[in-house]
Amino acid sequence: MEPIELWYGLINSMMMEQGLFRDLKAVYEKNSPFIAEIIMNSFCPSKCQHCIYAPDFHLYNKNLTQDEWKEAFRVIHDELGLNRFIFDGRAFTEQCIRAIEYLKENFGDVKVGLITDGISIGPFVERLIDFPPDWLDVSVDGLEKEHDLQRNHIGAFRKTFDVLIQLKDSNRFDKINILSCLTTLNIGSILEMIRFLNAKGFKNFFITPVSVLKGYRPDPDLQPQREEFVNFLDEFLITSNTLFDTWLEVDIYEAIYANTIRQLRPQLFNEFMMENDHLELVKAHGNNEVHISYYPLSLTGVREFIVNSDGNIIPPKVVAMGKIPREFVFGNLLELGGKEEKFDQLMSSQAFSFYMSELLSEKALLGRDNGGIPG
């Protein structure tokens, strides 16, 4: 069975917590992650309002040296068997571009993706064109006013747009994706931004509703209200009819958003199908394809192997804490045991409780006792 099918059984189960914990671990034991998510740089000079990283994150999380990262990449590729790497979201630096160059030069089967902003990537555009990642996600959070507001940077939109045109015109990138974080600041601007950039030749758009770690970051007031969110989805589906040869996707990671769709748009939610590690709705409008996907946070580790800037292996969202408590660290990549023991060590760590707590939250919102989800 696929992870999402096993997850479905767990959230609808009548088992006690101990049994749920045991069976969730069994899902992980049978499904190893296939993407290495790399947080290469702990420092970011940007002050984006939607950012989940604590402002003092860099004070508590050192950066590995270039040689240590090379060893980390070898371990990830040769010993753990992962050949997909994503460099995720912090300010782009010289160390990042060197890492991409190193991976592309030394591992023939590796695929590399990059999530970046349009400001810090600017000085490295020519080098990226020489060593292009296999896919590139550039953050654009609405039209000019809303993007600059959410990014806390006047002029950020124009600089980002100029970089996007330079990247596209190079014809060196198989896929340039526009990545947007949906918040109360830009919810009225995202769809117009998509139409604007689609007219400029961009064809891939990914929207993620803002994630909040309760008690930390970002401000929960950035989360759209329930009616506001489903109204956005209604308009999102209609917008696909006005575009050309476009891939549109909303990726949801928080159960609260999935529950909102289930309660306020049940017909839409009933169209979700199970697909590997997530629920997904797919629609085709002309030559456009529309996806709305829900990825349960409790299953993140069957997809993503997250390596922090200091080499520690961590679950998602804990970067909001700044100084990450030891109980949320699986271990350090450069200090794990032999090849056969590595994933076993991770599953036996106390940090696995993060996934269990997310499962309990998902069960409370989406399980049988609260109306259930499509079977």
Buried b (16+ CB within 10 A) or exposed e, 350-368: ebbebbeebbbbbbebbbe
CA distances from 152 to 156, 157, 223 (A): 8, 11, 18
CB 63 within 8 A of CB 164: no
Mean pLDDT of 266-282: 97
CA distances from 329 to 124, 313, 349, 351 (A): 32, 6, 8, 6
State the amino acid at position 108 in one-letter form: G
- Comparing CA positions, the residue from 123, 118, 206 lying closest to residue 161 is 118
Mean pLDDT of 106-130: 95
Mean pLDDT of 129-139: 94
pLDDT for 177 beyond 70? yes
State the amino acid at position 139 in one-letter form: S
From the centroid of its chain, how far is CA 72? 21
CB 133 within 8 A of CB 112: yes
Mean pLDDT of 108-116: 96
pLDDT for 115 beyond 70? yes
> pLDDT band for position 368 (50/70/90)?
confident
Question: Is residue 185 classed as helix, strand or coil in its secondary structure?
Answer: coil
Mean pLDDT of 1-9: 96
> pLDDT band for position 285 (50/70/90)?
confident
Least confident range of 85-89, 109-113, 202-206: 85-89
From the centroid of its chain, how far is CA 239? 23
CA distances from 321 to 53, 216, 328 (A): 7, 6, 10
> pLDDT band for position 336 (50/70/90)?
confident
pLDDT digit string, tens, across residues 55-103: 999 999 999 999 999 999 999 999 999 999 999 868 999 999 999 999 9
pLDDT for 15 beyond 60? yes
Whole-number pLDDT of residue 186: 98
Mean pLDDT of 312-329: 96
From the centroid of its chain, how far is CA 212? 13
